[in-house]
Amino acid sequence: MTCSFDRLAGDADLEGVLEVEHESFTNPWTRDMYAWELQNKNVCHIYVVRTPDCRVAGFCSFWLVFDEIHINNVAVRPQFRQRGIGTALLGHVLTEARTLGARRATLEVRASNEGARRLYERLGFYVAGTRRNYYSNPVEDALILWRDAEALEPPGAVC
Ligand SMILES: CC(C)(COP(=O)(O)OP(=O)(O)OC[C@H]1O[C@@H](n2cnc3c(N)ncnc32)[C@H](O)[C@@H]1OP(=O)(O)O)[C@@H](O)C(=O)NCCC(=O)NCCS
């Protein structure tokens, strides 16, 4: 599938992200939460993925904290899943993060979210710990995943 990636820009993109949130999560982030995030564009980065017929087919948001990125949310609209878009989106985000100086990436994932876990593992993330009962609706443990410098560097690069 042909797709492109942009940093979130403007209300139409934000509307699209809020729709994807509602289609994807039992506890979606709200407009107010995003408004707060978007006040600090040096820290909070949000990328949307576009297809020829969909302005926002998915998105990924992360914080850049020193030389780490903390991936907060990643989601693809249900009708666009299983086509490689999530993999391409995360690949783009990790490349952008490298450009911004990041050397490591981390995120949390529901223990039962096997599809997302497979995706992260394919991209070089590994389980580094557990946060007990971290999620609500339903209550569930979070796995803490990390991806290290070597994995964030392009092949052959010196860290
Ligand atoms: C997790 C998520 C972002 C993955 O997005 P996606 O676009 O479906 O991801 P991909 O298509 O790149 O990969 C998913 C699967 O599709 C497969 N796939 C990729 N391209 C494919 C294609 N052309 N045809 C068929 N399958 C394909 C991949 O091999 C992968 O299979 P597997 O997970 O069974 O091993 C998406 O499922 C989602 O939004 N889930 C709800 C929100 C969520 O849980 N987010 C993560 C929170 S931590």
Calculate mean pLDDT across residues 71-100: 97
List, as one string, the DSSP characters of 71-125. Answer: EEEEEE-GGG-SSSHHHHHHHHHHHHHHHTT--EEEEEEETT-HHHHHHHHHTT-
Nearest alpha-carbon partner for 130 in 115, 116, 146, 118:
146
Do the domain assignments include residue 141? yes
Do the domain assignments include residue 159? no
pLDDT at 155: 46
Q: CB of 75 closer than 6 A to ligand 1?
A: yes
Do the domain assignments include residue 17? yes
Do the domain assignments include residue 85? yes
Question: Measured in Å, how far apart are the chain's first and last C-alpha atoms?
Answer: 33
Calculate mean pLDDT across residues 3-28: 97
Contacts of 18 (CB under 8 A, 6+ apart): 28, 29, 30, 31, 34
- Residue 158: pLDDT band (50, 70, 90) is very low
Q: CB of 87 closer than 6 A to ligand 1?
A: yes
pLDDT higher than 90, residue 152 = no
pLDDT higher than 70, residue 9 = yes
Q: Quick check: is 108 catalytic?
A: yes
Do the domain assignments include residue 88? yes
Domain range enclosing 145? 4-152
pLDDT at 65: 96
Do the domain assignments include residue 59? yes
Do the domain assignments include residue 158? no
Nearest alpha-carbon partner for 18 in 48, 43, 63:
48
Q: Quick check: is 120 catalytic?
A: yes
Query: How many structural domains does the chain have?
Result: 1
Among protein residues, the one with the nearest Cα to ligand 1's atom 40 is 75
Q: CB of 86 closer than 6 A to ligand 1?
A: yes
Q: What is the CATH number of the domain that holds 76?
A: 3.40.630.30
Among protein residues, the one with the nearest Cα to ligand 1's atom 17 is 82
Distances (CA, A) of 51 to 11, 47, 89: 18, 13, 12
pLDDT at 149: 73
Q: What is the pLDDT of residues 33-64, one digit of tens each?
A: 999 999 998 999 999 999 999 999 999 999 99
Q: CB of 85 closer than 6 A to ligand 1?
A: yes
pLDDT at 154: 52
Give the side-chain half-sphere CA count within 13 A for 83: 14
What is the C-alpha to C-alpha distance for residues 159 and 157, in angstroms, rounded to an integer?
A: 6
- Residue 1: pLDDT band (50, 70, 90) is confident
Q: What is the pLDDT of residues 87-142, one digit of tens each?
A: 999 999 999 999 999 999 999 999 999 999 999 999 999 999 999 999 999 999 99
Do the domain assignments include residue 145? yes
